[in-house]
Structure 1
Amino acid sequence: MLSRRGVLVASAALMAASLAGCKIVQIADQEAAAPAGFDAQAYAEDLWSDQVLPHFSASARPVAEVIPAVHESLEAAGNAYGYRAAEGSPWAFIVSGTGQVIAKNTESRAGTLDIKVEGLPDSVALQIGPVIRGNAIRDALPFVSFQDFTNQLEYADAGKALTALALQAISPAAENIAVGDNVAFTGAVSLANAADRLQITLVELDKTSP
């Protein structure tokens, strides 16, 4: 019969044998080795002031020119005014304009302002959220390419984050704008075909004097 001391020695030997094939990793080492997830918000914020807003400012074309061109021929309008990442992708147009608010639609969470723009027979719809449809902001940026992302989910998240920053920028003005006000706006619209509903996703919105 083993003594108490013998039992302890035998137990220690068994534990040493079981641990011999194990590699001990410090918690800090585990954290360092784990891949970091894609931070879409940080990605969008890094681009916003230095690249996105300057690109919109430099590339915006009058909405009163772009819309009639789209109705006549989306392909021709795209070549003249727009951008698309690849053949078969939607055309994205960066537009700007001024006009009077003739309707403010907030019953739906996908809220809009209907703007009467001089030179256009129909009103223009500006998305004011809080739900914004589409990824027109992302699609209008030639420096945001699907090839830069690991997968489709990251690309989609980048689009959502850019749209969220755009909504954040225009929401204070949108809340204070009423029917009858005059506004100036800059934004983007993405169209797969000319029959698509034309709604502008804003990056800038301001109330102006009559």
Structure 2
Amino acid sequence: MTTVQDAHDGWDAGRGRWLTLGRGSLIALVLLVVAVAATTTYRSAESSDTAGPAAFDPAAYGAATYPKVVRAVEKRAVDIVTLQRAIAADSAAAGAEYGVREGTGPYSYAVKLTGTAGAVSGGLLSVTVPDLGKTRVGVQVGPAVNGSALRDAAGFIEFGQFTNQVEYADAGTALNDQMKRKVLAGLDVASLRGRPITVVGAMAPLTADVLTVTPVSVEAAS
């Protein structure tokens, strides 16, 4: 049979006897339990407080950043003849003066060229530019657009702005996708052949003999 005294007592296993709790101590213990329960916050696995940062969205990044890239490339654009001669003479000096690079990677450049459009082969529109001699100039016209020249030549996009290499690569691809929508989707490449065109874009050449430009604008003479 349980007595009132039993309710206030606790068993001391070491001494083999009951310890008596005063009524005040019991009340204090109950209040402590209530206080702990009242101040404890329970979160579900779906709680927004436990969620990490939002995942990188390449499409959203491309849409927001591409107009800034276009403005930066247009502002930084160097005449391709001037640039080709500088690279041929001293590629390191040319890069330091006209280019942008991440770490010790290759230099990327914003360029402008005017020449005569030729045939399309392998996604490249050949362009004959006066004063470039045998240097081959090609403008990427798709459907595939390779490389990350738009990202790298803009001058304000750096690896440290992204969580990892995958996001950095996805950013470059997203900018290329925007360019395809904004520039190439409405471009009648076949109609350009034999006509003077002006192109503004970006490139990351390995040598001065082959220059491949990713465009942000292609305009044909009327």
Q: The TM-score by the shorter chain falls in which range?
A: 0.7 to 0.9
Paired residue type of 2:171: A
Matches of 2:166 and 2:209 in 1, distance apart?
24
Counterpart among 63, 74, 92 of residue 57 in structure 1 = 74
For structure 2, which runs of at least 5 residues remain unmatched after alignment? 1-41
| Equivalent position SS for 1:206 | strand
Question: Number of paired residues?
Answer: 179
Matches of 2:197 and 2:141 in 1, distance apart?
13
Residue 119 in 1 paired to residue 127 in 2? no
Q: 1:44 to 1:24 in 2, by over 3 A?
A: closer
**Moved beyond 6 Å, runs of 4+:** none
Q: Quick check: 2:125–2:140 contact (8 Å CA) kept in 1?
A: yes
Residue 181 of structure 1 corresponds to 195
Deviation per CA, 1:93-149: give whole Å up to 9, x if none.
Answer: 1100111112222xx4xx111111121113411111111121111111221110011
* Offset of residue 25 of structure 1: 3.0
Alignment of 1:78-157 (within 5 A): 78-86=95-103, 88-105=104-121, 108=122, 111-122=123-134, 123-157=136-170
| Equivalent position SS for 1:119 | coil
* Offset of residue 34 of structure 1: 5.7
Paired residue type of 1:166: M
Q: 1:151 to 1:103 in 2, by over 3 A?
A: same
Residue 33 of structure 1 corresponds to 51
Larger radius of gyration: 2
Q: 1:94 to 1:205 in 2, by over 3 A?
A: same
Q: Quick check: 1:85–1:142 contact (8 Å CA) kept in 2?
A: no
Residue 68 of structure 1 corresponds to 85
For structure 1, which runs of at least 5 residues remain unmatched after alignment? 1-22
Q: Quick check: 1:94–1:140 contact (8 Å CA) kept in 2?
A: yes
Q: For structure 1, which segment, 193-202 or 61-70, has the greater mean C-alpha deviation from structure 2 after superposition? A: 193-202
Matches of 2:203 and 2:176 in 1, distance apart?
12
Matches of 1:152 and 1:119 in 2, distance apart?
39
Superposed CA RMSD: 2.2
Alignment of 1:2-41 (within 5 A): 25=44, 29=47, 33=51, 35-41=53-59
The percent identity for this pair of structures is 32
Matches of 1:39 and 1:206 in 2, distance apart?
31
